[in-house]
Amino acid sequence: MNNAKFRPQVLQLPDDNYGYLARREAGLSPMAMVSTLHRRQVIDFVNPHIRKMPLYIMYRVQFEKSLLRDVWSEVMDSWPCFLFILIGPCVAIVVGVVVFLVNGAAYTDNEIFGRTNLRRLYDFPLLWVFQTVQLVDHQSGRILRASWGLFCVTIFAAYAALLTSHATAPQEHPKINNLEDLLEHHDFKIGTSLDISYFITSLRMAKTGTTHARLWQVLCEQNESDPRTFSTDKSYHIRRVLDGKYAFLGNIPERMVPTYVKADFSNIKFARLHNLRYCMAIPQKAFYKDDLERVLYTAIEVGIVKSIRLKWIPDKAELLASKVEIKTDVHLSQLDFLLYFVATGISIAILIIILEIFVHRYVY
C-alpha cells in the first residue's frame, strides 16, 4: 500500500527542535509531527530524553465552600487566634480557682492545698449544679461561680454567633489540593506536551509481550482509539492551567517558571511520576477518575511507574515567602471558632477528670 498520500507535509525545523504540532495529521501518527530529517534522531532521542527530563502533572487548586474536613488546615493557619480565644475563659477560671482556694484556706484555717480546702474545690461544681447556692456561703464561692458562668456564657454565645455567621457567610477553601483530589474531580482535562508524543511513539512500536506493549494496549482500551492531538505549546497549556481550565501533563522547563507560574504559583501544584527507569505520563486529553486510576495502577503493576510524589514549584524559598504572605491575609473563619470552642470544652472535661483522680488519690 502506498503511504505517500497519507504522509503529511511537515515543515523543516531548526536544529534545536525535534518536532512540531501537525494538528490534523498528529491524530493519525505522532511520528508525523517530526520532519524526515529529524525522524531518526527522534527515535534515538526517546529513551534518554524521558530518563533525563522528569514529567509532571500540573493543575490549579479549585475552590468550594468550607467543609469540616478543612478545619484542621484552618487551625494550622490561625493558631494565634486559637490561643487568644482561650485566654479569656482560662484566665477567668484560673483566677476563680485561686481566689476560691486562698479564701477557703483562710475560712477553714487550713493550708491552701490542704485536704479540706481541695475537698471544697472538688465539691464545688456538684454543689453548684445539684444543690442550692446557699450551701456556699462565703465570697470565694461566688467568685468561682462567676468565673464558671463567664466561661459558659462566652462559649455558648460565641457558638450561637458562629452558627449564624457561618450560615450567612461561608468561607471558601481548596477542593483540589492534591492528585487524589484531582482524580475525584470529574471536570478536568490533561494537556500533553510533545515530549509525550515521543514516548507514545515508542509504545506504539513496542514488541508484543513487552511492558510497553501491555501499557499501550491499556491506553488504547481507555481511549477507544490511538491518542490524538498533542500540543507543543507549553506556554499555552500553562496559561490555561492558570485560568483553571484544565491540568497540564508534561515537562515543565525551568525557564518557563518565572514567566508563567511565578505570578500565581501559590495555587499550582505538580505531581511527579517516579519510575524505575524513566518518567512516564498518561497520554490522554480527557481522563476521568476511574480511567486515570486504572491506567496509573496498570503502569505501576507492569513496573513502569514506581510511585507518585507531589511537588511544589518553584523553589522552596519562594514558596515559603509566598506562604508567609498568604498567612498574613488569612481571616479567622467560623469553623475555626467552632473547633476552638469544642477543643476548649474537651480541655475542661480533661481537667475535671484529672482533678477527680488527684482528689481521690491524695485527698481521701
Burial 122-149 (b: 16+ CB within 10 A, else e): bebeebbeeeeeeebeeebbebbbebbe
Is pLDDT of 347 > 60? Answer: yes
pLDDT tens across 31-70, in order?
Answer: 333 333 333 333 333 333 333 444 444 444 444 444 444 4
Least confident of 28-32, 114-118, 212-216, 246-250: 28-32
- Residue written as cell 481507555? 222
- Confidence at residue 211, expressed as pLDDT on a 0 to 100 scale: 57
Chain-wide mean pLDDT for the chain?
49
**Residue 52's pLDDT is what?**
41
State the DSSP H helix or E strand holding residue 190, giving kind and residue range, or none if neither: strand 190-192
214-273 confidence digits (pLDDT tens): 655 655 554 444 333 333 344 444 444 444 444 444 444 444 444 433 334 444 444 444
Q: For residue 100, is pLDDT > 60?
A: yes
Considering only CA atoms, which of 121, 284, 275 is closest in space to residue 218?
Answer: 284
Confidence of residue 30 (pLDDT cuts 50, 70, 90): very low
pLDDT for residue 118: 76
- Measured between alpha carbons, how far is 358 from 30 in angstroms, rounded to an integer? 76
